[in-house]
Structure 1
């Protein structure tokens, strides 16, 4: 009980810690604090506890601005051991405007991550305090130099040092019918013996011609270096007198994208064309390397990635037809290589380099897609969509056997009809086929075809006192291997399922409602022979869920109580295709729901149920579950 009280207390009294924000975003801008919000969420289901919170608040008091931005996420999993993972970040900013050209301010940021799992980096924290000067040479352009101190802790080692840099923002500056937006950030965190660095520049240039043509050009350059501690071998520790080694990860990226939209002379018809190229390199460099302990996995590495994309779409909108057709082509190439270490054996380096080159790959993909909605009459609509993709994946190394071709086709057709002012009917058919072919014999046994076919139908009743949504769905999945006759470990299989769903709300009185939510699923898994289209069932599942509540509504408060039931029974088939019970899971629980809401400003909700569980061995268990949410847009 004490733990539950503490969780509720945490939800109501916001703590000053928040989730991570992207490290390359601008830090000294008021927009990060401009949307006041308090949001808390606590969930306890089975043996997993999740708590999250977000708090944003900014206040302009004449020439002084103060802002706070924080979020906190925590996960606790109870099994044979207790696993805890926390992630938090807190940011506060204060700024005083001397004039429309000059402002000064300070900011504090605190970031912490903790995980009790035995990971390479399972505990880190970063605290920095900075002062800055913001200068506006023109109305929508500002430069912000900053400097301060940073304290960075990683796996038990704390380093401190100066943090300094420059930010610049050009916020939708208009000239000659062009709109230009651009951000720049340069930051160095000099925490000897480590050093972290960020360089980021991006721009977006937008121009509209005669309200018929629009062109957007986007460019990006970024460079980010991070130094990490990691555990090392005893020889390196003794030779360099260190307790932990340091690895630098430097990522550089260049990208340019252009988008063109054109309105044609045909009413409702537009053409969109976009294309772009993207380069990226990732360097990993180890600070201390002992030549006496080098093996083929000790070499530092470099990854080069190149991507090129092109797409075009044709869109048509009219009173009776809305349609879009799109084609896209994408190419991606990735190269890996090892870096030579002075004093290392050439033979070991060649082995290490060959090991990295096994990861080299190239992918080419072409995609065709289309979607149309036809309004046949005022009460009849048909929607159709199709998606087709071909992927060619090649590897250059003779020791990599992952070369393959993939062909995926998906389609959907749906029919909607407004039968009466109170009843809508829909039915549809969905399907897909995915063919995977491995080129080399070493993996060709995995060649397969995956087919899915699904039929769905349902209705929607919407009356003053009754609303109900119902659907029925039948699906069949078939996975067929090309060479299962040659490999006894591979068997084609099928998965078939029937699902019935219902959601109904009945107004009994002015403030009283009766609600029901439930579904039934019958599933069958089995071995499958595509040639004879014959199925040999192996496993059968019977899954049922129902939730019935009676709800009372007042001005801002609603209260509901009822019963929640869930059951899952599994069966196995014997040699005579007779199914026998394998496992049983039954759960019944009293349920209560409380919601407090004031327009779109404040929402507070509680949902809890206490389960009584039994299984096929008649073992009984009890389990409490709770979900508590608070959202306040103040």
Structure 2
């Protein structure tokens, strides 16, 4: 009885983060580093005039009941060009430790630092967030983990440093079985009081699954997240004099509630499974500004709010037998966005209403429908047919007549591929792809963009895997035709065609013991032209030829491999005017190439690849360019 009561209490009060933002900072969902495999990975890349370095360190070690962890990640980019060079650096470091005494007493600490700098920006050229917290991890009934924490934080934004307290708690339940249910959850409450700013996060998610019988299961999840963050931006001269400030402050609050359910019936019909899913979400985003001129009856901007409602439903059928593996999927989703202004203050009511109507022009309703069939049909043991058929439709409605972006989009695709295995070493394939796209703007103001896009593709090739010899080849023809519906009325939009023939090949030949000769490359011949679809006429305007060849010798000695070769790439572009060809541009580059890779004691892996290219291009003196890629991984 005690566990049953605890299960229902936990289900209604616990949560996990399902909607973490892309950029990780101190206000976000993952406060403490997750356990990972110990390792150090470094990647350096130099291509053209761009230098990039990425380093990631994950290390943890236990000394009896004492656990220590360190996580560090560095991303650095440097762009070198004739003007001022630019660089961008981002560094994150987390150091944590805890001492396990009992289920209820596990004290620990976390020190975290984040530094961001970008020489290209002036408003936020540098930003930093550094904090340290003490915590205690508790495990209740060997089921629920709770981790309260508190500490001190320094946050730098737009050149302004703010300090204050950081505190909160997090925890939850890892997925486990209780009675006939499988539950999983976690929660988080966090405040950063860095006056005058305040960053907050509240999260709640709980999930429960149930297996009615071995072939039928259902899972349900509910999510609540609310995150708030304050930002500085430069104040205008009026506000500076009125409030004696240099920076104004804007707050963004983002709240989302979602409910989802998935039902799986694995033995719906013989060899057939059924999957149904549903998701509903309600999102509210508010942007408010702290300082405004109370005397201004006609301000240029107001606080704003976006309301978003979205739901998705989907169904799928999977058929699997010795004859075929087929999947049928259908989904429908609809999203409603409403834009409005809030907090008019002392602004002129008529002016505020006018601005609100202008904001409401952005309101929209978008509905999407997707239907697809994919699969493989096994004709014989050596013959296989792969099929892919899909249809996508987007309807974008704008209630306001002033919003001219209302449109319909269609995209239908068909793909078929036949694969024939002649023997254990050689197989052949041939395929055909067709894509049909249609874009229609409803209102006349943008109807000149209406177009139809047709893409045809034929390809064939082979694969040979023999002793001491491997060869893969592919021949492909592509034709892309884009036709504007009203090009006769608008000369700014012209229908065009793009056609291409390409041949690619990869070969590896063993010429001696542990010595291999390799060649990879491609040849592409492309044509761009003006199109008259109704008259079935194409007027070529440009022809492009591309060639890439990479011959090399490769040898392997134990855990080491070495490659030496040559890289040749050429690009020729000819303009066609009145059926006469005229060279428009060309690029030729040839380079010695070297590549080294090694494994040391199954713990350290090193890969180094680079080439030194001699470049000849139209209108430019001869140039020399180095390309280098270094990847080192140490499994600690």
The bucket for the TM-score relative to the shorter chain is over 0.9
Decide which of 229, 233, 254 is 1:230's aligned counterpart.
Answer: 233
**Maintained 8 Å contact 1:467/1:505:** yes
| CA distance in structure 1 between the aligned counterparts of 2:181 and 2:208, rounded to whole angstroms | 7
**Maintained 8 Å contact 1:26/1:167:** no
How far residue 58 of structure 1 moved from its aligned partner, in angstroms, is 1.3
Segment drifting more, 394-403 vs 591-600: 591-600
**Maintained 8 Å contact 1:387/1:410:** yes
Paired position in structure 2 for 1:182 = 185
SS in 2 for 1:531: helix
Paired position in structure 2 for 1:14 = none
**Maintained 8 Å contact 1:24/1:200:** no
Paired position in structure 1 for 2:516 = 513
How far residue 354 of structure 1 moved from its aligned partner, in angstroms, is 2.4
* 1:249-268 alignment runs, 5 A limit: 249-264=252-267, 266-268=269-271
Decide which of 384, 389, 396 is 1:386's aligned counterpart.
Answer: 389
Q: Paired residues, what number?
A: 613
Paired position in structure 2 for 1:27 = 31
* 1:39-438 alignment runs, 5 A limit: 39-79=41-81, 80-118=83-121, 120-264=123-267, 266-293=269-296, 295=298, 297-438=300-441
How far residue 88 of structure 1 moved from its aligned partner, in angstroms, is 1.8
How far residue 209 of structure 1 moved from its aligned partner, in angstroms, is 2.0
Segment drifting more, 78-87 vs 444-453: 78-87
SS in 1 for 2:491: coil
| CA distance in structure 1 between the aligned counterparts of 2:178 and 2:223, rounded to whole angstroms | 21
**Maintained 8 Å contact 2:317/2:328:** yes
| CA distance in structure 1 between the aligned counterparts of 2:44 and 2:489, rounded to whole angstroms | 53
| CA distance in structure 2 between the aligned counterparts of 1:448 and 1:574, rounded to whole angstroms | 26
Deviations 1:267-322 (A, max 9, x none): 32100000010111110010101134565542010011111000000101011210
TM-score (norm 2): 0.94
| CA distance in structure 1 between the aligned counterparts of 2:533 and 2:63, rounded to whole angstroms | 73
Paired position in structure 2 for 1:632 = 634
| CA distance in structure 2 between the aligned counterparts of 1:540 and 1:22, rounded to whole angstroms | 53
Segment drifting more, 161-170 vs 350-359: 350-359
How far residue 532 of structure 1 moved from its aligned partner, in angstroms, is 1.5
**Maintained 8 Å contact 2:295/2:346:** no
**Maintained 8 Å contact 1:114/1:122:** yes
Unaligned 5+ segments in structure 2 are 1-22
| CA distance in structure 2 between the aligned counterparts of 1:408 and 1:387, rounded to whole angstroms | 8
**Maintained 8 Å contact 1:64/1:97:** yes
CA spacing shift, 1:47–1:386, aligned 2, 3 Å: same
CA spacing shift, 1:37–1:454, aligned 2, 3 Å: same
Deviations 1:315-363 (A, max 9, x none): 0101121001011010001111111331112233123212321211110
CA spacing shift, 1:519–1:599, aligned 2, 3 Å: farther
RMSD over equivalenced CA pairs, Å:
1.6
| CA distance in structure 2 between the aligned counterparts of 1:122 and 1:306, rounded to whole angstroms | 36
SS in 1 for 2:288: strand
SS in 1 for 2:356: helix
| CA distance in structure 1 between the aligned counterparts of 2:176 and 2:613, rounded to whole angstroms | 59
Paired position in structure 2 for 1:583 = 585
CA spacing shift, 1:408–1:177, aligned 2, 3 Å: same
Paired position in structure 1 for 2:598 = 596
Decide which of 440, 444, 447 is 1:444's aligned counterpart.
Answer: 447
CA spacing shift, 1:541–1:361, aligned 2, 3 Å: same
Decide which of 499, 503, 507 is 1:504's aligned counterpart.
Answer: 507
CA spacing shift, 1:560–1:466, aligned 2, 3 Å: same
CA spacing shift, 1:21–1:238, aligned 2, 3 Å: closer
Paired position in structure 1 for 2:611 = 609
Segment drifting more, 294-303 vs 103-112: 294-303
| CA distance in structure 2 between the aligned counterparts of 1:37 and 1:267, rounded to whole angstroms | 47
Segment drifting more, 386-395 vs 348-357: 348-357
Paired position in structure 2 for 1:623 = 625
Paired position in structure 2 for 1:9 = none
| CA distance in structure 2 between the aligned counterparts of 1:38 and 1:481, rounded to whole angstroms | 53
